[in-house]
Chain A
Amino acid sequence: GAVVSQHPSWVICKSGTSVKIECRSLDFQATTMFWYRQFPKQSLMLMATSNEGSKATYEQGVEKDKFLINHASLTLSTLTVTSAHPEDSSFYICSASGREAVSYEQYFGPGTRLTVT
């Protein structure tokens, strides 16, 4: 149990376009979802935290107008990279935490590789 999926697994887009990444909890209700970004040879860096039905909380230095996060249901959160630029190329990973007994555990998705040309 506790499976999280992401779609797409990789995407290439042109500079200036927008890209949407989906994160789904497949077998549990995710009350909280987290979005991380990881550059090559670096650790995961938290971008934002989203609770179902609420606005996301962004980490310092993350532009909320550029990285739009929607957590409209207990099984789906989306991250939209608007007006993407080459420096947004990165590995984006979501994690989800739910209403299970161990509410503080997080389950990670497989990640989405974004390349902006």
Chain B
Amino acid sequence: DAKTTQPPSMDCAEGRAANLPCNHSTISGNEYVYWYRQIHSQGPQYIIHGLKNNETNEMASLIITEDRKSSTLILPHATLRDTAVYYCILISSGSARQLTFGSGTQLTVLP
């Protein structure tokens, strides 16, 4: 059972920022927040991850609340190619563990 909660779907206008929320109220101290996305009929693609601090890379920004119980993935200028299912997943540090994928959020970028 997934430990994260995400809205099932969101729309965003092309060129606008897409803000995807994720709740993880039972997160443990050694769990990182990872974001992946899956474009139709492809394998999941890593986007970004963080532990406590906000993170930014060439794809997105990740905002984690101070209590770490929720986070927001921000795509600053969404394009049509960003249409995908976005998954927020908790991963513990240490040895490899299987990932539990929830339902994710279907982001549709509209022209």
Contact = CB atoms under 8 A, between A and B. Distances in A.
Interface of A: 4, 6, 31-32, 34, 36, 43-46, 49, 91, 93, 95, 97, 103-111, 113
A43 B102 contact: yes
B95 interface: yes
B9 interface: no
* Dominant secondary structure at the A interface: strand
Interface of B: 36, 38, 41-46, 87, 91-104
Given A43-B101, A46-B100, 6 more contacts: A31-B96, A43-B103, A104-B95, A105-B46, A108-B44, A111-B41
* Dominant secondary structure at the B interface: loop
Contact of A105 (B42, B43, B45, B91): B91
Contact of A107 (B46, B94, B101, B103): B46
Contacts of A91: 41
Contacts of A93: 43-44
